[in-house]
Each structure stands twice: as C-alpha cells, then as structure tokens.
Amino acid sequence: MLARVKDETLKLVDMLTDELGFSTKSMSLVFSGGRGYHIHVRDLEIREWGGSPERRELVDYVCGIGIDPGG
C-alpha cells in the first residue's frame, strides 16, 4: 500500500510542477510513517496569497472538484 501512496505522491509532484509551475526546489517531501507522504511547498508566491480562498482553489484543482469529466 505504501508503494501505491508513493506513486500517487509522485504524480502530485508532477502536477504541481508541470501544470501549476512550482519548482521542485521549493518543495520538500516528508514521509511520516502511517500518515503517508506530505509535500511542503515553500514558494514565496504562496506566502503572498491572501489565505484560505487561494488554498481552497488549489485543493479543488488537485482534487478535480468542479470539473465535468464528460465535457
């Protein structure tokens, strides 16, 4: 199971770099045992975000919320 979680984490890193333009240099990956992998993005642009609305939009994008798979 942890191998699958690692594969999915690497897919997320690809999304963050390829689609959203974050640099791998601004990321750190942390493995916390039973809680899996965590990606910390320490990009200065994120610090300028006003807070919750911007972060929610990023989470929605990553999760595919609001995307019509048929269209």
Q: How does pLDDT run across 29-57, given as a tens digit for each residue? A: 998 887 788 999 888 878 777 778 888 89
Instruction: Tell me how many domains the chain contains.
Output: 1
Residue 23 lies in a domain: yes
Residue 49 lies in a domain: yes
What torsion, rounded to 10 degrees, do the Cα atoms 44, 49, 37, 19 define? Answer: -80
Confidence of residue 14 (pLDDT cuts 50, 70, 90): very high
SS3 state of residue 62? helix
State pTM to two decimals: 0.78
Per-residue pLDDT, 55? 84
Domain residues for the domain of 8 are: 2-63
Residue 71 lies in a domain: no
Confidence of residue 66 (pLDDT cuts 50, 70, 90): confident
Residue 70 lies in a domain: no
d(CA 55, CA 49): 8
